[in-house]
Amino acid sequence: MLKPGADPMSVDQSDVLCNFCAREWTDDLPLVEGHQGSIICGVCLKTACKLLDGGTLVTSHRTCTMCLEHRDDPAWESPWVEGSVICGRCINLGATALSKDKDYAWKRSDTATE
């Protein structure tokens, strides 16, 4: 998402915020984009993956912030930003995309062996 008050016609990197923790985008922070400018950062995605893989997530009553669909998948609701939800499918898609991105050393799990 864009920082409140940011000019959509001239967006700086620091105007781009994660929808789930509201941190600013920096060069060493990987991001995944969803629909309508929604964004999840690598830190939040890792948290969501950990919970998803641990089997602790349940279906959300909210619509996924990233794909704008309401699915029956387990979903992660941000504990920091009210109303931000990512469904299991978007968590998996985002994790796959980030782990393939050679610009970042992002891994779904610190303990996973490949």
Residues near Zn ion, by CB under 5 A: 18, 20-21, 41, 44, 64, 66-67, 87, 90
CB 86 to Zn ion: min, Å: 6
Looking at beta carbons only, is 11 or 24 nearer to Zn ion? 24
Nearest to 18 by CA among 112, 97, 94, 71: 94
Amino acid in the structure at residue 42 = G
Looking at beta carbons only, is 9 or 61 nearer to Zn ion? 61
Looking at beta carbons only, is 68 or 112 nearer to Zn ion? 68
Amino acid in the structure at residue 16 = V
Q: Is 37 helix (H, G, I), strand (E, B) or coil?
A: helix
